[in-house]
Amino acid sequence: MHQYLRDKLYAVETENYGEQLLKENIKKIFAEFKVDEKISPGDRVLMKVNLLMGKDPSRAVCTHPAVVRAVAGEIKALGGRPVLADSPGGPFNQAALKLAYNRSGYTEDAGKGLYELNYNTGSFYGKLESGRRGKSFELCSFIRKADFIINLPKLKTHGLTLYTGAVKNLFGVVPGTVKAGYHFKMPKIRDFCQLLLDIAELVDPDLTIMDAVTGMEGSGPSSGTPRDFKLLLAASDILELDLLVSWLLRGDPSYRNDPLPEAILRRYSQSGESESYGRYGEGNFLKEEIPDWLTRKFREIKLPDIDRTANLLDKRMPDFLKRIVTRLVRPRPVFTSACIGCGICKKNCPPQVISMEQGQARVELEGCIRCFCCQELCPHMAVEIENPLLGRLFF
Ligand code: SF4
Ligand code: SF4
């Protein structure tokens, strides 16, 4: 079995979701990160899963229940109290949570007493003096009550940030529709990624274990195709983990026009951690140290058409010209005939540019900020991201 360990990063091949295999590998991860020294009997241990929406585990949208089960088992073995929590897209209330837990396969295990399910839908304002995009953020109360936080993301592609992993998973601690407000306030991808980093810093998980046994490629994070990476990845430093996975996805250690790793590197450089920046920046992410067996797993992966044009245009053009050119080259949401008019996208569109006409969703592209929440949250895979011809030619 292949393993990769360096500093605060760990990757272990995990062929499938078999109970015994997961148990062994999660045990190894707990041992590597000395979790037994950090969890005391009676501690409330939060398992922050990816519960974007209630979906069958075979669709690879949410953290697989078998991974949650194995993690909960290890927490219990240490005397801790595992609690599963997340705030899915849309309204954050007990009825919505119940449905999402049920559809994603968590209810049965919770019913057997393997872990608790969070039904606290309260929120509070977390303060972050060092925040770049704010000093105070509305967060779910379940974060506050945890003695130890385990971040359990799913490795998936993402139309806005290229991929959703360790950092992006923590945006789920922003309550339901409040997320749309943050998208609206920060329509520029660079600002949004800095916001993600602020929130990640505020939550500061003790350990991250990424479910990449089966992840997603193509139109992630909800409408893509399941892809077997046959991996569990773990880290005590979520930024290092996301730099590693971004590198593996792109096969390019320069991170050029890849907004999340760019934001991470900028933060390293601004914080004066020149040693870290020198190590990771300018294409230095230890390419030679990443073993072949790991890079092979990401070969020929289908990536989404992320809005790289917006990144470039943000830098280079005056506003009036930008408006004209972006209309011609930026990827845009397209609503297909699979739409059943449920209105979920309309409710969650930050600038409210979606309307319903004859039972079908329509978008007013002029005000669209290309956050792709509509594509992310559509339960019927009725939203596609289309890259206009000019965009395909130039970007
Ligand atoms: S696009 Fe999807 S979310 Fe929006 S109304 Fe149609 S089916 Fe519902
Ligand atoms: S239409 Fe979709 S991509 Fe555009 S702003 Fe609304 S949710 Fe975001």
> Hey, which of 52, 342, 346 would you mutate to test ligand 1's pocket, going by the most ligand atoms within 8 Å of its Cβ?
342
45 in Cβ contact with 150 (< 8 Å):
yes
Is beta strand 162-164 parallel, antiparallel or unpaired with respect to 383-386?
unpaired
Measured from the CA of 351, which atom of ligand 2 is nearest?
Answer: 5
Q: Among 270, 296, 322, which residue terminates a domain?
A: 296
Both 290 and 312 in one domain: the answer is: no
Do 225 and 326 lie in one domain? The reply is: no
* CA 370 to ligand 2 center in whole angstroms: 5
Ligand 2 closest atom vs CA 352: 6
Q: Is 385 in the pocket of ligand 2 (CB under 6 A)?
A: no
Q: Does some domain include residue 23?
A: yes
In whole angstroms, give the CA distance from residue 87 to residue 107: 16
pLDDT bracket for residue 267 (50, 70, 90): confident
- Taking 80 as the threshold, does the pLDDT of residue 7 lie above it? no
Asked if residue 352 and residue 276 are part of one domain, the reply reads no
Residue 325's pLDDT is 64
Tell me, yes or no, whether 86 and 57 share the same domain.
yes
- Residue 317 confidence (pLDDT) above 90: no
**Which tops the pLDDT comparison, 8 or 75?**
75
Token digits for 80?
A: 């801790």
**Residue 280 pLDDT > 80, yes or no?**
no
Residue 282 confidence class, pLDDT cut points 50, 70, 90: low
Of 164-168, 178-182, 196-200, least confident by mean pLDDT is 178-182
**Mean pLDDT to the nearest integer, 293-312:** 80
pLDDT at 367: 87
Which range has highest mean pLDDT (62-71, 260-269, 287-296)?
62-71
Which alpha helices (H) appear in 251-307, and where do they start and end?
A: 259-270, 274-280, 292-296
- The C-alpha angle 104, 245, 313, rounded to 5 degrees, equals 100
Quick one: pLDDT at residue 326?
63
Ligand 2 centroid to residue 350 C-alpha, Å = 7
Token output for 365: 């592209």
Q: How much distance in Å is there from the Cα of 264 to the middle of ligand 2?
A: 25
- Residues contacting 292, CB < 8 A, separation 6+: none
* SS3 (DSSP) at 149: strand
Q: Does 350 map to a domain?
A: yes
The CB of 89 under 6 Å from ligand 2? The reply is no
- Are 93 and 138 contained in the same domain? yes
Report how far ligand 2's centroid is from the alpha carbon of 44 (Å): 37
Q: Is 127 helix (H, G, I), strand (E, B) or coil?
A: strand
Are residue 123 and residue 254 in the same domain, yes or no?
yes
- Nearest ligand, measured from the Cα of 344: 1
Greatest alpha-carbon pair distance for the chain in Å reads: 61
Q: Quick check: CB of 261 below 6 Å from ligand 2? A: no
Out of 17-26, 172-181, 252-261, 316-325, pick the least confident: 316-325
Residues 308-314, mean pLDDT to the nearest whole number: 54
Question: What rounded mean pLDDT belongs to the chain?
Answer: 89
Cβ(363) to ligand 2 under 6 A?
yes
**Are 116 and 47 within 8 A, CB to CB?**
no
Give the domain extent around 377: 308-394
Which atom of ligand 1 is nearest to 341's Cα?
Answer: 5
Q: Are residues 338 and 196 in the same domain?
A: no
Does residue 284 share a domain with residue 315?
no
Contacts of 75 (CB under 8 A, 6+ apart): 39, 45, 47, 81, 82, 115, 150
pLDDT at 190: 86
Query: HSE of 379 in the Cβ direction (CA atoms, 13 Å)?
Result: 15
Query: Residue 187 CA: which ligand is closest?
Result: 2
Among protein residues, the one whose CA lies closest to atom 6 of ligand 2: 349
Question: Quick one: how many helices (H) and strands (E) in the chain?
Answer: 17, 16
In this predicted structure, what is the pLDDT of residue 395? 46
Q: Which ligand is nearest to the CA of 340?
A: 1
Q: Of all residues in the chain, what percent carry a pLDDT higher than 90?
A: 67
| Res. 281: pLDDT tops 60 | no
Question: What average pLDDT does the segment 253-277 reach?
Answer: 73
354 or 278: whose pLDDT is higher? Answer: 354
Strands 207-217 and 148-152: parallel
**Of all atoms in ligand 1, which is nearest to the CA of residue 344?**
3
Cα 287 to Cα 247: distance, rounded to the nearest angstrom: 9
Please state the domain count of the chain: 2
Contacts of 354 (CB under 8 A, 6+ apart): 345, 346, 361, 362, 363, 364, 374
Shared domain for 88 and 46, answered yes or no, is: yes
Reduced to 3 states, what is the DSSP secondary structure of residue 174? Answer: coil
Co-location of 197 and 290 in the same domain: yes
222-226, 230-234, 237-241: which range is least confident on average?
237-241
Query: Distance of CA 237 to CAs 48, 124, 152, 164, 333, Å?
Result: 16, 25, 13, 16, 34
Last residue of a domain, one of 242, 274, 296: 296
| Ligand 2 midpoint to CA 365 (Å) | 8
Rg of the chain over all Cα atoms, to the nearest angstrom: 20
Give domain status of residue 303, yes or no.
no
Quick: pLDDT tens for 131-169.
989 999 999 999 998 999 999 999 999 988 889 999 999
Q: Measured from the CB, is residue 370 less than 6 Å from ligand 2?
A: yes
Domain with residue 313: its CATH number is: 3.30.70.20
345 CA to middle of ligand 1, Å? 6
Same domain, 237 and 262: yes
